[in-house]
Amino acid sequence: MSGVVPTAPEQPAGEMENQTKPPDPRSDAPPEYNSHFVPGPPGTAVPSPAGYPGGLPMGYYSPQQPSTFPLYQPVGGTHPVQYQPGKYPVPNQPVPITWMPGPTPMANCPPGLEYLVQLDNIHVLQHFEPLEMMTRFETNNRYDIKNNSDQMVYIVTEDTDDFTRNAYRTLRPFILRVTDCMGREIMTMQRPFRCTCCCFCCPSARQELEVQCPPGITIGFVAEHWNLCRAVYSIQNEKKENVMRVRGPCSTYGCGSDSVFEVKSLDGVSNIGSIIRKWNGLLSAMADADHFDIHFPLDLDVKMKAMIFGACFLIDFMYFERSPPQRSR
């Protein structure tokens, strides 16, 4: 009996596996996948905006500056990303709109005109409207105002009802609203209706444009003067006192060349600036897609810069706004 070695009782195979294999502390963990993600340095924490405790919903952005907006292309999902018109790029726009950085408020400067203090020339680009050519229906004019760096400075939108636009065409009274990158209306330009049935040399038949900045506060007027050969305007202050003159070319319908409107002092000796309507080939001859270059001294009073800017639109409507041809009956 002493040579017999006692053995342990036999146990089922399942119980032996439980004893030899320790329990997995990550029994509920997801299966492992190969990942090419390389962790980077930790960034600064950005607080969630008000109203969205968990962050912004998909398809919306929280840009740090209002000057640029990133492009976003959806890569999956059943619901496409929707963009609010006028604020975010749509898929058919390859390049986002870049705005001129907003300047700080300045003393003795109407709010919104701080952009013009930094500029000595601007570009006025009218939107091309195919609907006008196809249907002969006059639509509201729209303009992009840019600097030399192709940055957006302002957006100008006409606010006129359909009947007035199509009944009076180029002679229509209008309101132009100038907005900045935040969508704030910083300037308003109004053209009253002037009857042209009477004698063309009568003061009541001469065109006029009132410029308000901010809206409701008049800073000046652009008044037409009768001249047999060329376009002549006076730029006036809020008291309707003449400050500068605008002298146009003898012919504003030249084909293949630019039309230059010179901004001069009252005595006509000093050249202050210019409003140049650029020739854009067939687009200038057949459609309303004008391009203006406005030049003025950098140290010119900012209100006078705004008045030269406003004179550009009165010139556009009077000489370069083409009404669609009417059908013959």
Phi/psi for 264 (5° steps) reads: -125, 165
Q: How far apart are CA 211 and CA 202, in angstroms?
A: 23
Residue 329 lies in a domain: no
- Report the pLDDT value the prediction gives residue 159, as an integer from 0 to 100: 94
Instruction: Give the pLDDT confidence of 234-257 residue by residue, as tens digits.
Output: 999 999 999 999 999 887 655 668
Residue 172 lies in a domain: yes
Average pLDDT estimate for 292-305: 96
Other C-beta atoms closer than 10 Å to the C-beta of 221 total 22
> Contact at 8 Å (CB) between 102 and 113?
no
42: pLDDT confidence band, cut at 50, 70 and 90? Answer: low
pTM for the full model?
A: 0.67
Residue 195 lies in a domain: yes
- Report the pLDDT value the prediction gives residue 77, as an integer from 0 to 100: 42
Instruction: Give the pLDDT confidence of 168-207 residue by residue, as tens digits.
Output: 888 889 999 999 998 999 999 999 987 765 555 566 668 9
Residue 265 lies in a domain: yes
Residue 242 lies in a domain: yes
Residue 52 lies in a domain: no
Burial class of residue 200 (count of CB atoms within 10 Å of its CB; 0-12, 13-18, 19+) = exposed
What residue type is assigned to position 219 of the chain?
I
Average pLDDT estimate for 90-113: 80
Instruction: Give the pLDDT confidence of 57-73 residue by residue, as tens digits.
Output: 333 333 344 444 344 34
Residue 249 lies in a domain: yes
> Contact at 8 Å (CB) between 139 and 132?
yes
Residue 7: pLDDT above 60?
A: no
Residue 241 lies in a domain: yes
Q: What range does the domain containing 166 cover?
A: 122-320
Q: How far apart are CA 97 and CA 80, in angstroms?
A: 22
Total domains, the chain: 1
The CATH number linked to 307 is 2.40.160
User: What average pLDDT does the chain have?
Assistant: 75
- Report the pLDDT value the prediction gives residue 264, as an integer from 0 to 100: 96
Q: How far apart are CA 119 and CA 148, in angstroms?
A: 9
Q: Which helix (H) or strand (E) holds 91?
A: none
Instruction: Give the pLDDT confidence of 110-143 residue by residue, as tens digits.
Output: 999 999 999 999 999 998 877 777 777 888 999 9
- Report the pLDDT value the prediction gives residue 120, as an integer from 0 to 100: 96
